[in-house]
Structure 1
Amino acid sequence: MTGEKSADEPVRLLLVEDHAAFRQALAFVLSRQPCFEVVAQAGTLDGARAAIGRGIDVALVDLMLPDGNGADLIAELRETNPSVRVLVLSASLGEENLSRAREAGADGVLDKTVSPGEIAETVRRLRSG
């Protein structure tokens, strides 16, 4: 057994976003697609850390969280699951934050203002390699 997912298995998502309304709306939109399963949501780094062991395929991570920077979570996600893909989804995309996210190993970066369709398409691309 290789641990790879078959094409018909949903992509398991972790959403890390401190704005609950945005996070819940995103979870709703993504979970309505047959290829995605939102397995955990968190509004803080601590909440996200509690979900790390849930077999996450793709984590969507905000950078500015109440208890720290989401970039700090990326290395922890990768330690637990080296194949996890991380999409930074943030409104705080200044050069310092972008550099920090890239150095931490983010696979992609999107501004929160993009459409839900663009987010979904980016998650699909990240998961497929």
Structure 2
Amino acid sequence: MPTRMTERMTGAAQIRVMIVDDHALFRQGVGRLLEAAGMRVIAGARDGREGIRFAASLRPDVTLIDLEMPGLSGVQTIQATLQERPASRIIALASSVDPFQSIRAREAGAKGCLTKTARGDELVSLIRRVHAGEPVLDVTRPKRVAFPDTALSLRECELLRLVAEGLGNHEIAVRLSVSEKTIRNRMSQTFAALKVHNRTQAAVYALRTGIAVLH
């Protein structure tokens, strides 16, 4: 049976939330926070498989899914949950600011992403926006970084990250297990989409948008 938490009956408009995370204390803490904000936490799942099962049977309004769980990963859990119930509204929870982790969650179908270090009011606000079907920015990105206005695929972002690291076409081809010709073609397409003219401009774009990070 799902893990039941204290439920406040404050009306039909109450948002029903499920939390999927392998840490019980985190589930309990977030549950108390959301209930204090007038939401209803209907279940807590300790892993991805349990979360998929609960989502199908309980049909929560919004589901919070940890991206870093043992066994079935957060991205796999998002994908499977949406296969079972395409109308699911999912928010991915990340342990750190990682643009690639966020992109994977988005491509899997998450409506929003948030780091676990975010303030409680940020989580509450994001849940309300996702529940209302409002567009949301990617709040796992550093606040100093602008959200890209060009929709890039995971493949294109990976290419830009490697360019920003200073790798040449041959090195990138080896890293991605494709031919140099394929890399040249992808590079031309990506540069055209971004309206940049050379590798330096592409690298600057990647760094400014958070796709690549200087170490």
Question: Which range is displaced more, 79-88 or 107-116?
Answer: 79-88
Q: Is 1:113 equivalent to 2:139 in the alignment?
A: no
Q: Is 1:88 equivalent to 2:92 in the alignment?
A: yes
How far residue 23 of structure 1 moved from its aligned partner, in angstroms, is: 1.3
Residue of structure 2 in register with 1:48 after alignment: 51
Q: Is the 8 A contact 1:18 1:43 kept in 2?
A: yes
Q: Report matched runs for 1:26-65 at 5 Å.
A: 26-34=30-38, 36-53=39-56, 54-65=58-69
Spell out structure 1 runs of 4+ moving beyond 6 A. Answer: none
Higher normalized contact order (CA 8 Å, seq sep 6+, divided by chain length): 1
Q: Is the 8 A contact 1:57 1:83 kept in 2?
A: no
**Secondary structure of 2:49's match?**
helix
Structure with the larger helix share: 2
Could you list the runs of 5+ residues in structure 1 that have no partner in the other structure? 1-6
Residue of structure 1 in register with 2:107 after alignment: 103
- Output the TM-score relative to the length of structure 2: 0.53
Could you list the runs of 5+ residues in structure 2 that have no partner in the other structure? 1-10, 134-215
How far residue 8 of structure 1 moved from its aligned partner, in angstroms, is: 3.8
Q: Report matched runs for 1:13-32 at 5 Å.
A: 13-32=17-36
Per-residue CA deviations over 1:19-52 (Å, capped at 9, x if unaligned) read 2111110001102222x21111112112212202
Q: Is 1:79 equivalent to 2:96 in the alignment?
A: no
Per-residue CA deviations over 1:69-102 (Å, capped at 9, x if unaligned) read 1111112222233222111112144243222211
- Output the TM-score relative to the length of structure 1: 0.85
Percent sequence identity over aligned pairs? 32
Q: Is the radius of gyration larger for structure 1 or structure 2?
A: 2
**Secondary structure of 1:68's match?**
coil
Q: Number of residue pairs matched?
A: 122
Distance 1:18 1:92, change over 3 A: farther
What is the root-mean-square deviation of aligned Cα atoms in Å?
Answer: 1.7
